[in-house]
Amino acid sequence: MNWAETKNLQSVSLKEIPNMEFAKLREQIVEMIMKGCRVIQFFGEKINSGVILYVVLADDEQSKLFIASSNFNEGDIFDSITPEFKSFNYFEREFYEQFGIKPQGHPWLKPVRNGIAGVSDSEVQYEFFEMMGEEVHEVGVGPIHAGIIEPGYFRFLCHGEQIHHLEIELGFQHRGVEELFIRNRNNPVYLLKLSESIAGDSVIGHAGNFVRAIESLSETNISRRAMVIRTIALELERIGNHLGDLSALAGDVAYLTGNSAFAALRTKAINTSMSICGSRFGRGMVAIGGVNYDISLELKEKILETINKIEEDVEVAAEVLFSSASVLARFEKTGIISKDIAKEIGMVGPAARASGISIDVRTDHPFGGFSLFPVHKITLKSGDVFARAYIRYIEITQSIRIIKEQLGTLNEGELKKNTSELKPNQLVVSLAEGWRGEIVHTAITDENGLLRKYKIKDPSFNNWLAVALSVKNNGISDFPLCNKSFNLSYCGFDL
Amino acid sequence: MLDLIKLRLRHGKQAIPNIHTAEVLKTFRGFPIVDESKCENNCEKCKSICPTEAIEKNPLRIDLGKCIFCGECEKVCSGGAIKFTNNYRIGSTNREALIISSGKTFEQFEVEAIKAKKEIHKMFGRSLKLRQVSAGGCNGCELELNASTNVNFDMGRFGIDFVASPRHADGIVITGPISSNMAPALKDAYQSVSDPKIVIAVGTCSISGGMFSSSNKINRNFFDEIPIDLFVSGCPPHPLTFIHALLDFLGK
């Protein structure tokens, strides 16, 4: 096996990446996945003579990444890997949608972003999964949903109140982000701001990933201080979003006390982000080569004070929420994803950890501040709404501990370093644990050191299928609860 | 039970008591003060660094309908010709008023920005129900709109609410640059709202396309036919920006 071996944020020369016949590549993928590797990127790039497919597999135990490629001509077909490993489902569909190269034998070869999105009802010629029988009915929801949330289309096949199957159609938010990355490659400030807008709730997650990729390609070592500030910002983002989710989950089961308490705590958390960088979502915080905003001694004390208060209040609120019989009756044994299924479909993030999968980029492929301060991986077993809610509570307390730890190591250092040109003909994979899970960005440079390809994978890309599977055999009225317990990104998926 | 009481006591009163006097942190980037006399050597650094082409020179002006409030221009300007203040009241019924020229004070902006109309006040002043449509929004604006109804900002106290069905709504709130894939659904939603109705564009993406204005995956034809009644600037706009813009618009 001669795959290029590398690590998170360690760039490799394109020459080192082996290129092989797809049949051979497929054999090796199967072999490596059987050994415990996981697919984290599978994307095509258009080149003069056709399409080149890059596959990146991760070995979490050894913190290693393996990269190989294969060439295709337009109109080619290949043997789908999905029947054996369902984690390739969306990756192969995306590859087919973008380049027309067909994965033969894919069980459900549907569009990823250009299915029913963009056509009005009268024109729709879309093959939805169908179910026949007495008392069987279909419920279509979307793309516009009842609340203030992003658009997506959900089609339920129900028998009475019970959901038998849910089909999720996305793509409504498609804004051509990856294309904009290449078109504006000469404008680093634009690219940074664009990375902040991939998913507006994961600003630090995505922007941090982007700048680390650029810093790796330009061999820039940022100061320890900047690294610490970024780590604090990322954990604040995690706390803010998790608190917001706990609030919404309480609201979904009409438990208004929890809804209000966690919403107020969330405001405190995201206002802490604003006290550093002026934006409640951390916009402007991260810069290429460091950070834009400092944490002064005075601010440090304020942050400590706020997170200590949040820590105390969260404990009280969580105690009340997770001991309320009416809440538990709705949370427990609802929307179960077993460990086997989670592994099979390649789930990531807190949702995977709630099903017992021990996976966390902060520990498995450490980046930034986590290289020096390892994070203890938290897992739960039950894989239900309760587990996905409870793990958020534990992760909030964990993130608070991380912030305190990081604040204690805030040494002197320059905020921002100048970066040099990007190295030519390189590929770098940048991974980070956003609050939703594993964010992967892959950057490839051309012979002039300009970005040639920029590929983004939001954790939602892995987890949307889990939402569909979790609601099977649940009552349709539990759908909002199941959906919120994942709280996936539409625009992060649609790009 | 005791825990519940403890929680309620700790929670206390969260709502901002007087929204009209509410202030946000000094770090917040809101209304900018532009002073061209501080420009040094006509350097154009601010113009070239702006990711959304919100800045024009000769004379120096900044368009809050395009600005994403990243503050990069402020940082590169050695003379201090652009300074963002923490004044968050940057909604406008008038697109032109969002272009801030040199020397314009907030008071001057406020006079031009929102003109409350009698008929709007009469029709929607006591109750305004809105249907929000996210059309390519990154979830930033959506989160802030949600926040405007939470325990802290509590927009419901002014009779302004978000509703699920466009049939129950008096108007629509649009976020995002309008992705081509959402354009038909947005039009459907707009048509489902009964007349008379208002259209509110929230966030830079919605007002001008923002970061995505050059993308070929967006389709802003909707705004060619449908005029916008209220522009709410920001990336994303602060909940207080949104609430104040609405209150001023309704003449409350």
Each residue's pLDDT tens digit, A66-111: 999 999 998 899 999 999 999 999 999 999 989 989 999 999 888 8
Residue A299 lies in a domain: yes
- Contacting residues for A48 by C-beta, under 8 A, at least 6 apart: none
Residue A472 lies in a domain: no
Q: For chain A, how many structural domains are there in total?
A: 2
For B69-117, give the DSSP string: ---HHHHH-SS--EEE-S----EES-GGGGEEETT--HHHHHHHH----
Residues B101 and B212 in one domain: no
Residue B2 in contact with partner chain A when CB distance is under 8 A: no
Query: Out of B71, B147, B182, whose CB is closest to A278?
Result: B71
Q: Give dist(CA A163, CA A188) in Å, integer.
A: 47
Residues A319 and A444 in one domain: yes
pLDDT band per the 50, 70, 90 thresholds, residue A361: very high
Higher-confidence position of A142 and A222? A222
Residue B120: the pLDDT is: 86
B-chain residue closest to A258, CA distance: B7
B-chain residue closest to A146, CA distance: B164
Question: Of B65, B94, B113, which residue sits at a domain end?
Answer: B113
Query: Are B50 and B26 within 8 A, CB to CB?
Result: no
Residue B225 lies in a domain: yes
pLDDT band per the 50, 70, 90 thresholds, residue A121: low
Higher-confidence position of A356 and A111? A356
Question: Of A89, A104, A119, which residue sits at a domain end?
Answer: A104
Query: Out of B25, B132, B218, whose CB is closest to A148?
Result: B132
Tokens of B106: 């907030």
Residue A291 lies in a domain: yes
Q: Give dist(CA B111, CA A451) in Å, integer.
A: 47
Interface mutation target, options B3, B9, B26, B27, chain A, most CBs of A under 10 Å? B27
Chain B nearest-CA distance from A102, in A, is 24
Residue B210 DSSP one-character state: G
Residue B91 lies in a domain: yes
Residue B21 lies in a domain: no
Residues B188 and B232 in one domain: yes
C-alpha atoms less than 13 angstroms from C-alpha of B136 in its C-beta half-sphere: 33
Residue B43: the pLDDT is: 85
Closest CA to B147 of A267, A332, A98: A267
The fraction of chain B above a pLDDT of 70, given in percent, is 100
Q: Give dist(CA B68, CA B237) in Å, integer.
A: 10
Residue A257 lies in a domain: yes
**Is 60 exceeded by the pLDDT of residue A124?**
no
**Is 70 exceeded by the pLDDT of residue A122?**
no
pLDDT band per the 50, 70, 90 thresholds, residue B115: confident
**Is 90 exceeded by the pLDDT of residue A116?**
no
Residues B55 and B140 in one domain: no
Q: Which of A225-234, A352-361, A467-476, B108-117 has the lowest mean pLDDT?
A: B108-117
Q: What is the mean pLDDT of residues B227-252?
A: 93
Here the CATH number for the domain that contains residue A304 is 1.10.645.10
Chain B nearest-CA distance from A274, in A, is 7
Interface of B with A in 232-251 (CB under 8 A): 235-236, 238
Contacts of B179 in chain A (CB under 8 A): 172-175, 494
- Angle of helix A297-321 relative to helix A385-407, nearest 10 degrees, comes to 160
Here the CATH number for the domain that contains residue B68 is 3.30.70.3270
- Cα-based distances in Å from A307 to A320, A391, A407, A409, B4: 20, 19, 11, 17, 22
Here the CATH number for the domain that contains residue B224 is 3.40.50.12280
Q: Give dist(CA B250, CA A463) in Å, integer.
A: 43
Query: Out of B27, B135, B152, whose CB is closest to A278?
Result: B27
**In terms of DSSP bridges, do strands B128-134 and B82-84 run parallel, antiparallel, or are they unpaired?**
unpaired
Residues B123 and B97 in one domain: no
**Is 90 exceeded by the pLDDT of residue A140?**
no
pLDDT band per the 50, 70, 90 thresholds, residue A123: low
Query: Out of B69, B72, B162, whose CB is closest to A189?
Result: B72
Residue A119: the pLDDT is: 66
Residue A79: the pLDDT is: 93
**Is 60 exceeded by the pLDDT of residue B9?**
yes
Residue B206 in contact with partner chain A when CB distance is under 8 A: no
Are B217 and A175 a contacting pair at CB < 8 A? yes
H or E segment at A123?
A: none
pLDDT band per the 50, 70, 90 thresholds, residue A118: low
Residue A184 lies in a domain: no
Q: Give dist(CA B173, CA B134) in Å, integer.
A: 8
Contacts of B190 in chain A (CB under 8 A): none
Residue B203: the pLDDT is: 95
Q: What is the mean pLDDT of residues A248-257?
A: 93
Average pLDDT across chain A, whole number: 92
**Is 80 exceeded by the pLDDT of residue A46?**
yes
Residues B65 and B127 in one domain: no
Residues B134 and B106 in one domain: no
Residue B15 lies in a domain: no
Could you tell me how many residues make up chain B? 252
Residues B206 and B242 in one domain: yes
Q: Which residue is listed with tokens 């990104």?
A: A489
The fraction of chain A above a pLDDT of 90, given in percent, is 81
Q: Which of A424-428, A440-444, B112-116 has the lowest mean pLDDT?
A: B112-116
Question: Of A73, A104, A135, which residue sits at a domain end?
Answer: A104
Residue B8 lies in a domain: no
Q: Which domain holds residue B94?
A: 32-113
Chain A nearest-CA distance from B74, in A, is 12
Query: Out of A172, A264, A274, whose CB is closest to B151?
Result: A264
For A337-354, give the DSSP string: --HHHHHHTT--HHHHHH
Chain B nearest-CA distance from A282, in A, is 10
Residues B66 and B106 in one domain: yes
Residues B84 and B149 in one domain: no
Residues B131 and B226 in one domain: yes
Residues B125 and B212 in one domain: yes
Query: Are A125 and A115 within 8 A, CB to CB?
Result: no
Residue A122 lies in a domain: no
**Is 90 exceeded by the pLDDT of residue A413?**
no
H or E segment at A142?
A: none
Interface mutation target, options A153, A154, A175, chain B, most CBs of B under 10 Å? A175
Q: Give dist(CA B121, CA A131) in Å, integer.
A: 51
Residues A261 and A408 in one domain: yes
Closest CA to A492 of A466, A465, A456: A456
Interface of B with A in 123-162 (CB under 8 A): 132-147, 150-152, 162
Q: Which of A152-156, A219-223, B115-119, B143-147 has the lowest mean pLDDT?
A: B115-119
Q: What is the mean pLDDT of residues A209-227?
A: 93
Residue A158 lies in a domain: no
Question: Of A56, A78, A104, which residue sits at a domain end?
Answer: A104
Residues A280 and A417 in one domain: yes
Q: For chain B, how many structural domains are there in total?
A: 2
Question: Of B92, B113, B134, which residue sits at a domain end?
Answer: B113
Residues B62 and B182 in one domain: no
Residue B228 lies in a domain: yes
Residue A369: the pLDDT is: 86
Q: Which domain holds residue A431?
A: 207-454
**Residue B161: strand, helix, or coil:** strand
Chain A nearest-CA distance from B143, in A, is 8
In tens, the pLDDT along A329-343 reads 999 999 999 999 999
Average pLDDT across chain B, whole number: 91
Closest CA to B178 of B140, B217, B144, B146: B217
pLDDT band per the 50, 70, 90 thresholds, residue B117: confident
- Contacting residues for A176 by C-beta, under 8 A, at least 6 apart: A495, B212, B215, B216, B217, B218
Residue A374 lies in a domain: yes
Question: Of B65, B85, B113, which residue sits at a domain end?
Answer: B113
In tens, the pLDDT along A143-170 reads 898 889 999 999 999 998 999 999 998 9
Residue B123: the pLDDT is: 87
Query: Out of A175, A189, A319, whose CB is closest to B136?
Result: A175
pLDDT band per the 50, 70, 90 thresholds, residue A394: very high
Q: What is the mean pLDDT of residues A229-253?
A: 95
Query: Out of A175, A193, A271, whose CB is closest to B70?
Result: A193
**Is 60 exceeded by the pLDDT of residue B201?**
yes
